[in-house]
Amino acid sequence: MMATRAQQRPERAEPARSGEQGRDFEFTSADFARIRDLIHRSAGISLSDHKRDMAYSRLARRLRARGLDTFKQYLDLLEAENDPAEWEAFTNALTTNLTAFFREAHHFPILAEFVPRRAQPVSVWCSAASTGEEPYSIAMTLIEALGESGARHASVLATDIDTQVLAKAEAGMYQFDQVKHLSPERLKRFFLKGTGAHAGMVKVRPEVRSLVRFEQLNLTDRDYQLRSQFDAIFCRNVMIYFDKPTQAQVLGRFEPLMKSGGLLFAGHSENFTYVTQAFKLRGQTVYELTRDTAGGARAAPARTTSHASTSGVTA
């Protein structure tokens, strides 16, 4: 398998960490190798060697929660019990969720220019939505580009493998610090200011929130069970954690889910040119579907989602 750039770092000569000072739990090289294998099989994530400390500290919480003494015990239990809730906690612990509103800002004017030219209503899939900043930025861009009434029927499907970040995304509440770089116009138009117990926080306005539907989806699943096609897919800063064969499989599944002429937005360090022929680079890490895929999406049962309530915030 080919490794991503992050995984191509020279291997550090590290001693086995069994009994290492300052650690509460025994954590050996064999444990880390097993964690890498399990997270690769379950989520497609290739953990590089320098993520060893991160894996220890994040999973140590699971050992405490389960009252275990060693990583071996925890990993044995994970595999033997095969409990979906523990697998979910294991996966949630090992994902990296860094994101921001209007991150990689050059993509949003491209989206704004693209959507009015499409047959309406437009639909966008944000496939590694993390804590929601990205899908809400997409929804805000749709409102800016199409107007409030034009965007009313537009939709953003926001998915992620990590259920914990999705819960935060659904709530749509953020620290003011996370939005302070936005223009005063955007702040006023798209956010409510927290009061009382929520002072120092903002909440995404219901008009933005209502465009976005959150669901859990593992990009390495064989069948995404999505029933419709998208005008644009955002898949930013997640493929970097996947090896090339996994990237190729994911891109192969995106293809029939895109409307003709649809755009695929990638992260700043992700390059799909050598992974697929189906998408050609348009520039600025935006790819265009090269084939006509009209009617290509499979029908599947609709998924259900929950919506957060809106309390403690005012305009």
Task: Catalog residues that contact ligand SAM under the rule CB under 6 A.
Answer: 43-45, 95-99, 103, 128, 130, 134, 160-162, 165, 218-220, 236-238, 241, 267
Choice among 23, 34, 58, 303 that is catalytic: 58
Is 160 catalytic? The answer is yes
CB of 46 to ligand SAM, least distance (A): 10
Is 23 an annotated catalytic residue? no
CB of 238 to ligand SAM, least distance (A): 4
Distance CA 80, CA 219 (A): 25
Rounded Cα distance between 156 and 143, Å, is: 12
Q: Is 237 annotated as a binding residue?
A: yes
CB-nearer residue toward ligand SAM: 97 or 178: 97
Look up residue 2 and give its amino acid: M
Q: How many Cβ atoms sit within 10 Å of the Cβ of residue 165?
A: 20
Q: Cβ closer to ligand SAM: 44 or 262? A: 44
Q: What is the largest CA-CA distance in the chain?
A: 62
Closest separation between CB of residue 258 and ligand SAM, Å?
A: 17
Sheet containing 258-266: order of strands: 212-216, 155-160, 123-126, 230-235, 258-266, 286-289, 279-283
User: 279 has which bridge partners?
Assistant: 289
152 known ligand binder = no
CA 181/CA 309 separation, integer angstroms: 26
Nearer to ligand SAM, 25 or 214 (CB): 214
Supply the residues annotated as catalytic. 58, 160
Binding residues for S-adenosyl-L-methionine: 97, 99, 103, 134, 160, 218-219, 236-237
